[in-house]
Amino acid sequence: MPGKGAKRPEPEVPEEAPPPPPPEANSEALEFLATISEEEIPLLYFSETLNMISETNQILGEYSLDIKQAYYYSSDGDTKRSVLVHATSRGQLEEIPCGTSISGYLDWDLKTYQQHHHEFIKFLPLSVDKKTTLLKQNADMLMTRILKEGEEALGFQTIQLGSEQAEVLVVEQTMHSNEDIPMTWQYYLLPDGHLAKRIQVGSPFCCIITKMPIMREEDEFDPKPVFEKKQLEWEEDVQLFAIFRDRKEELQASHTTYMQHHPEAQTLISDFLLFLLLRQPSNVVTFAAEYFGPFARGLDKPPPFRSSNRPSPFRNPCSLSVPYNPLEKIPEKSSEEKTEDSSS
């Protein structure tokens, strides 16, 4: 027995079990979403209303779905082009009004920007009204209560729609909660994306369209035509050659008339060619610029103290030695230079 005044050992408190890990997205669902291209997303835009019927074909309510293009305004003030999905389900379950509304903004990779979920049951004296918001913040998602696990493909099936049979793709969506039991829906989708049937697992009723909708097909665009480049043989074309000959004669007549009215042009060109052949410069462009420079009109009067050895914009400053004046008299060759020219 413990001595007097000894402390009794405290009872051990069992450790709390760690919370279960959050559910992970199904890999097959992610692969399916990755196969949807940006060009195919506009084909998903549609608006449809389905009747909710019981097992005895009694209409209990309606389910409406609207998918369209919209603009999402983030908390940072950015405006992004997105896809707006809005689904509403209203009806009565055992004469109790109930309904569910889901709206969300998706990007072109079908990732959620923002989602609102509103569910209500008007059951007196206790009414239920639940609202859930899913908001994207940078690389994280801010969620309240409901976690969207994703969609799991259940394969292709054939169902009866009125008097016709249609092949549909059945996908399943499950929402988990930390407090309530999971809720699961099954969607029956036609090949063009129309929703043909919706079933809530555990519910006594389902949603189904009353008649087969008109199927939409993706537009097929013809490839752009490719034209081979052909060489133009204008000399062999009678019409083109006649146009060329008429234009040539017209230009020749115009040039002849102009030179007859401006004889000074012929004199100016002849003088330039004479100086060019006498000087025989290595740079013809620079020589021509310096030759015609003094004949320019409309220029400001040069200053009286301007250097006679001014730099030329067409010549390297290092190569300037003696300025050239096209109007100066060409110096005559000495007797020795004449003797050398005659001997050569």
Angle between helix axes 263-279 and 284-292 (nearest 10 degrees) is 130
Nearest to 49 by CA among 96, 91, 95, 112: 91
Asked if residue 109 belongs to a domain, the reply is yes
What letter does residue 315 receive in the DSSP assignment?
Answer: S
Kindly state the helix (H) or strand (E) to which residue 336 belongs, with its residue range. helix 335-343
Residue 44 lies in a domain: yes
Domain that holds residue 117: 36-123
Last residue of a domain, one of 92, 123, 154: 123
Q: Pick from 138, 137, 139, 145: which is nearest to 119 by CA? A: 145
Q: Cα–Cα distance between 320 and 331 in angstroms, integer?
A: 20
Number of domains making up the chain:
2
pLDDT number for residue 180: 79
In a domain, residue 177? The reply is no
93 falls within a domain: yes
Tokens at 72, concatenated: 């999402």
- 206 pairs with which residues across the strands? 53, 199
pLDDT score for 14: 59
Are 83 and 70 spatial neighbours (Cβ–Cβ below 8 Å)?
Answer: yes
260 assigned to some structural domain: yes
Mind listing the pLDDT tens digit of every residue in the chain (344 residues)? 455 555 565 666 556 667 777 778 788 888 887 888 878 888 888 888 988 888 888 888 888 989 888 888 877 778 888 888 988 888 877 777 888 888 888 887 778 888 888 887 775 444 567 788 888 877 777 877 644 333 454 678 888 887 888 888 888 888 887 777 888 888 888 888 888 888 887 676 788 888 888 887 777 888 888 888 878 787 888 888 899 899 999 999 999 999 999 988 889 889 999 999 999 999 999 998 888 887 766 566 656 555 555 555 555 544 444 444 444 444 554 555 544 444 44
User: Is 146 in contact with 117 (CB distance < 8 Å)?
Assistant: yes
How many CA atoms, within 13 angstroms, populate the side-chain half-sphere of residue 337? 4
Tokens of 5: 């005044």
Distances from the Cα of 282 to the Cαs of 224, 271, 327, 329, 331, in angstroms? 54, 19, 20, 21, 20
Residue 317 has what DSSP assignment? G
Single residue among 123, 139, 165 that ends a domain in this structure: 123
For 182, the 3-state DSSP assignment is coil
Strand-pair category, 183-189 with 164-177: antiparallel
What distance in Å separates the CA atoms of residue 23 and residue 32, rounded to the nearest whole number? 19
Determine, yes or no, domain membership for 18: no
Q: How far apart are CA 244 and CA 97, in angstroms?
A: 88
Q: What pLDDT is recorded for position 319? A: 47
Which of 81, 102, 123 terminates a domain? The answer is: 123
- Contact predicate 26/152, CB 8 Å: yes
Quickly tell me which residue has 């480049």 as its tokens. 229
Instruction: Assess if residue 246 is contained within a domain.
Output: yes
pLDDT of residue 250: 93
* Close Cβ partners of 14 (under 8 Å, ≥ 6 residues apart): none
Tokens representing 257?
Answer: 């008339």
Q: What angle is formed at CA 230 by the lines to CA 227 and CA 236, rounded to 5 degrees?
A: 145
Residue 6 lies in a domain: no
